Structures are given as C-alpha cells and as structure tokens.
Amino acid sequence: MGSLDGRVVVVTGGGRGLGRAHALLLAAEGAKVVVNDLGSDLDGFGADPGPAQSVVEEIKAAGGEAVPNTDSVTDWEGARRMIRAAVETFGDLDVLVNNAGIGYGRQLSHLEDIDEASWDTMIAIHVKGHFNALRHAAEYWRDRSRAGGEVRASVVNTSSPAGFVQLSERQSTQLDYAVAKAGILAMTIGAAVELGPYGVRVNAITPGARTRMSERAMPEVVAAPQDPAAFDRFDPAQVSPVVAWLASDRCPVTGQVLKIFGSTIELYRGWVPIGMIDKDRRWTVEELDVELNRLIEQGERAGSAR
Ligand code: NAD
C-alpha cells in the first residue's frame, strides 16, 4: 500500500528537476499522475514534448499510471485542459502540485537590468501559472463539494527562499523572481482560507535542489558530494517526500510554508507584528517623527535578539 494509493495528481513542470522527482515518487506511492511540462528552456522560451513524455514512460516502466500534458501553465485554456486531463483520464482530481517555473540565473544582475519582457515572463510563469492551475482545480473541487461529493484535496505550491529570506551580499536579490515567489506565498495563505470549506488544503514548499536552474544560479552550493556514500542533500528526490506527505489525505496541514534543504525541514511564518503605537486621535507628523523612530528601533532590537 502506498501513501497515495488511487489519488489523482497533476504535477506542473513535471518533466525535469524537482517536478520530475515529485512525479516519480508520487506515482511510486500509488498516485495516478498527469505529468505536465511545456518543455521550455530556462528562460521560458521554446517547447518540447520530450520531458513530459519521458517521465510518463519512466513511471509506466516502474508499473505506475501516468499521462503527459504539454500545455503552458501561463495559458488560461491550457491550464483548464491540464486539469480536465486528470478528470477525463483518471476520473477525478485530488492533488495539484504547482511546480513549473523558470529562473534567469542572473545572480550578479541587478534591479535596473530587468527589462519589461523578462519581468512579464517571470511573473506570468510563476504567479499567473500557479493561479491558472489553482483556479481551474478550485472550480472542479467547488462543484464537487456543492454536489455533495467528499473532497479531500491538496495543493502544494512552489515558492523559494528568494521570496522571503535575505540572500548573501554576493548575490543580487533576483527581484523579479523574489517578487513572483513572494506572490505565491500570499496566494497559498489566501487560497488555504478560501478553499478550506470545500475540503481543499493549500501549502507551499520552498525547496533547494540540484537542477538545471540551480546549477546555473549557484552551482557551488548544490554540487553533489565528492564521497558517493555521503548523503546527497541537494538531490531533488530529497524534497519529494514532503510533497507526498502534504498530498496524502491523512495530512491535516493547511496554509503552511515549509523550507526543505536535504533532510532539514523548516516551518516558516509570515509577517507578524513586532511592535505597536496607538492613541485615539490622529497622529501629527512631528509626533510620528518621535514615536515611529522609537518603534522601529525597538523592532530592530527585538529582531536582532531573536
Ligand atoms: P527545472 O528547470 O529543472 O524544471 C522546471 C520545469 O518547468 C521544466 O521542465 C520546464 O520545461 C517546466 N516549465 C517551465 N515553464 C513552464 C510552463 N509555462 N508550463 C509548463 N511547464 C513549464 O527547474 P527546477 O529547479 O526543478 O524548478 C522547479 C520549481 O522549483 C520552480 O518553480 C523553481 O522556481 C522552484 N525552485 C527551485 C529551486 C532549486 O534549488 N532548484 C529553489 C527554489 C525554488
């Protein structure tokens, strides 16, 4: 018995890297998988049906069930087709793993180097792409729930430490990527609230793994260990058990953000108030000059003490 026996799963960007590792493990755990992948290059250009098809073949060769889908998640109708493929092929949809993404790998570039086209592409693939798939899946689950069916569904979104953790001084913040990944966190928390009543849990992971994306952006960090017997922290397969656990219908967790680097799993919480000023009259600018400066100093002291 696998932890996902009979669950129907869509994995976006499932043809390579992290998505491939998730699709293989979820299938090995008993899920029926729609392997979505546009087959684009790292900058989001081009299309190739090869990656999705080859992961489907790997799953089938191991005795699992899978079908390919090569729509772009940025395409509203394409994302609808991808969700329908699950229902039409396997009769249902239980899990959406939103993973498709790109990374320009411009770790030495800066805000002023980002042009309009690259900004739009980055936001489209990550924010719109996650939303498109979520939106069509949510409609399916809402309709099932309203028709009296039992929904025990799970969405796993893919953010990045770049979306909320300060990077080292050597790197730029990759502002377009960071903004897109922070948007995915907001989407996760909001969708968890909205879809909870239909029986849908929504969580986000922020992985770190050796893929073509990270090998371009930070090859020294994700390199395989010299000793082949050592634990390979950045093998993408180290991230997938967390995705499988979040996907299983015995998992109760929703609205959470988990950072996974090898076997280290950290639970993150978003913005929380760390200080307050108040009075029952409008503030003057002069008062704020004193009180807000004091509040911010206190907040910085509290933050550095943690
Ligand atoms: P990858 O390039 O190996 O795989 C991404 C896959 O997504 C590719 O096969 C690509 O063809 C597909 N894809 C791209 N645009 C698509 C679209 N519009 N529609 C459908 N498929 C599309 O990269 P990866 O490192 O495995 O990244 C997977 C996810 O993990 C991304 O969202 C990435 O931002 C995130 N992530 C990765 C790391 C890391 O260390 N590798 C760290 C943080 C976050």
Answer yes or no: 279 catalytic: no
The residue to which tokens 């990944």 are assigned: 181
Q: Which two tokens stand for residue 252?
A: 């109760």
173 has pLDDT over 90: no
Q: Which residue has the tokens 């050597």?
A: 170
Q: What is the H or E stretch that residue 70 is in?
A: none
Length of the chain: 306
- Taking residues 201-207, report their average pLDDT: 97
Let me know if 169 is exposed, middle or buried by CB neighbors in 10 A (0-12, 13-18, 19+).
exposed
Find the catalytic residue in 40, 154, 160, 214: 160
160 is catalytic: yes
| Residue 171's pLDDT band (cuts 50, 70, 90) | low
Residue with tokens 């100093």: 297
Whether 39 contacts 50, CB under 8 Å: yes
User: Does ligand 1 have an atom closer than 6 angstroms to the CB of 102?
Assistant: yes
Is 158 near ligand 1, meaning CB less than 6 Å away? Answer: yes
Q: For residues 277 and 216, what is the distance between their CA atoms, to the nearest angstrom?
A: 46
Residue 108 has pLDDT above 90, yes or no: no
Q: Examine the residue annotation and report whether 104 is marked as an active-site residue of this protein.
A: no
- For residue 98, is pLDDT > 80? yes
Find out whether the beta carbon of 260 lies less than 6 Å from any atom of ligand 1.
no
Q: Confirm if 203 and 134 have CB atoms less than 8 A apart.
A: no
Distance CA 71, CA 77 (A): 9
Mean pLDDT value across the chain: 94
Q: Is the CB of 39 under 6 A from ligand 1?
A: yes
Give the C-alpha separation, 50 to 10, whole Å: 17
Render pLDDT for 23-58 as a digit per residue (tens, 0 to 9).
999 999 999 999 999 999 988 999 999 999 999 999
Query: What local confidence, expressed as pLDDT, does residue 191 receive?
Result: 98
Q: How many CB atoms lie within 10 A of CB 301?
A: 11
pTM of the model: 0.96
What are the pLDDT digits (tens) for 51-90? 999 999 999 999 999 999 999 999 999 999 999 999 999 9
